[in-house]
Each structure stands twice: as structure tokens, then as C-alpha cells.
Amino acid sequence: MPPQIGRIVLLTIAIVVGYNVARFLLTPVSFGQYGHFRANAMPEIASREPVYAGKKACEECHSEVIAKLSKASHATISCEACHQASRAHADNPDLKTTKLNDSLCLRCHEKNPSRPAWHKQIALAKHYLGQGACKECHQPHQPAEVP
């Protein structure tokens, strides 16, 4: 047998043994207990402090905005979809939430062929033209139809 073949066989054996040792040492004990994931991940995730307050927490102080929003096309959207996670603001009203900006509107309303045809969309280059901001013409809490 040529010496090259022996070296290749030894290298292959070393790679397989190294892989199995690394797999044994690096795989968490709870991996595979309930399928192809780490079983201890669920209690760890559940123990995290919530960062979303929910619409009811917003309604405690902003009932007039919630009432206005309930009659608009954004009625089913959570406040935190635009204002971001607001648990800290709900606990301490002195902390401010994220201000609305155009990127938040465009996240849902920029023209995208994967969205359904009934969803209001704009082609930014044709509609916006770099003049002002979305909220100068459209009220996010009571969006109006585009003329």
C-alpha cells in the first residue's frame, strides 16, 4: 500500500474522532430530549422579563388614541408595532416611546409584490418625492385614503 493512502486513512480517522469528541463535549445535555432543540431553552425563554406592555397597558393613559384607532384601518395593529416595545414606558411614563418616522410606515406600506393587492402600498419614488414626512398628510392613528 502506498504511503499516501495510509496518511489519508489516518487523517480521515483523526477527523472523524475529532468530530465525535467535539460533538460529545459541545452538545448540551438536554439537546434532543423533546426533538431537535435544547429542552432547557424553553424555561430560560419563559423566565425572561417581558418587554411588551400590550394594548391594555397603553389604554390606561391613552384611551382617546385607542378609541380613535379602533375606528380606523389600523385598529388591529398593536401600539407597539409602531412605537416599539413599551413595557418600560408603561411602568414609568417619564420614559418616552419611539417617535413615529417614515421608516416605520414604509415597513408595511412600501410597494412589495409579495403583499396582497388589497393592502395599501406606495411606490416611494412616485408618491413621496422627498417632501416632508408621511405623517404630514396621513394620521397614523386615523389613516386617510390617498386621494
DSSP code string of 17-60: HHHHHHHHHHS-TTBTSSSSSBTTHHHHHHTSPP----HHHHHT
Of 145 and 107, the structure prediction assigns the larger pLDDT to 107
Mean pLDDT lowest among 7-11, 19-23, 43-47, 77-81 = 77-81
Q: Which residue has the cell 390606561?
A: 60
The pLDDT, as a whole number, for residue 147 is: 43
The residue-averaged pLDDT of 37-45 equals 89
pTM, full prediction: 0.57
pLDDT at residue 7 greater than cutoff 90: yes
For the chain, what percent of residues have pLDDT higher than 90?
20
Burial class (CB in 10 A: 0-12, 13-18, 19+), 36: exposed
Of 77 and 11, the structure prediction assigns the larger pLDDT to 11
User: What would the pLDDT profile of 68-124 be if each residue is shown by its tens digit?
Assistant: 888 888 888 888 888 888 888 888 888 888 777 777 788 888 888 998 988 888 887
Of 48 and 137, the structure prediction assigns the larger pLDDT to 48
How does residue 130 score in pLDDT terms, banded at 50, 70 and 90? low
pLDDT at residue 137 greater than cutoff 70: yes
